[in-house]
Amino acid sequence: MIFESITELGLSGVYAIRFRRHLDKRGYFVETFRKSQFRVPPLDRHFVGSEFLQCNESFSLAGTIRGLHFQWNPAMGKLVRTVHGHMVDLVADIRPDSATVGKIIAHDMPESRESLEWIWVPPGFAHGNFFLADTRIEYMCTGEHNPECEAGISPFAADLDWGACDSAIKDAFEALRRTELITDKDRQAMSVREWLADSRTRNFRSREPEPV
């Protein structure tokens, strides 16, 4: 398992991690994850001492939008990949003391025969995706799901900052604005302003408090 590239995606700590598949006339072989290989800079500060506690698989029809979801108690980081189809992954910074709070990135992750790509979404970020084909994805989580400690930002919130996103990807998202393949819970979730006024933001600080 040899990394082809490790790329930070415009939000501190969010990485695209790509490596080659071993191809031959029969097809391909790939290790989808080996923990020791993730103990290299800059990933080591996220994965040394971390443990994946839950692995999920999701299938979505073309035109589906999911998210933007986040959880505290326990905080949850996610390692996400496309197994089959075409996903665009969405990550928004919701940490109230972050310089990039309210900023969203959209990372295009179509299925590829030649390489495999993960996106690492650390705790402290809201996560979602939309799908340009019928798609199956897999994601590993550093915390177990706790429905009592989760909330969401609407992907349609007018105060999300899409300025760092590729215009073609943003246009593909806008084309789905009237989709019925989104839950009411996700569509009607909070705006960034509503979230920043919520007392639960104390669980999402980007920096440790100064010593007294």
CATH of 3-203, one of 2.60.120.10, 3.40.50.300, 3.30.43.10, 3.90.580.10: 2.60.120.10
Based on the residue annotation, tell me whether 86 is a catalytic residue of this protein. Answer: no
- Collapsing DSSP states into helix, strand and coil, what is residue 70? strand
Structure-token match 């290790």, residue found = 31
- HSE (side-chain half, CA atoms, 13 Å) at 69: 22
CA distance 79 to 59: 16
The structure's pTM equals 0.92
Region 164-173 average pLDDT: 95
∠ at Cα 71 (68, 72), nearest 5°? Answer: 150
Query: Which of 1-10, 161-170, 176-185 has the lowest average pLDDT?
Result: 1-10
CA distance 77 to 88: 18
The catalytic residue among 46, 69, 84, 145 is 69
Task: Check whether 46 has a pLDDT greater than 90.
Answer: no
Q: What single DSSP character describes residue 61? A: -
Based on the residue annotation, tell me whether 69 is a catalytic residue of this protein. Answer: yes
For the chain, the structural domain boundaries read: 3-203
Structure-token match 């994601």, residue found = 139
CA distance 128 to 134: 16
- Collapsing DSSP states into helix, strand and coil, what is residue 179? coil
Task: Quick: pLDDT tens for 102-160.
Answer: 999 999 999 998 889 999 999 999 999 999 999 999 999 999 999 999 999 999 999 99
The catalytic residue among 86, 127, 139, 145 is 139
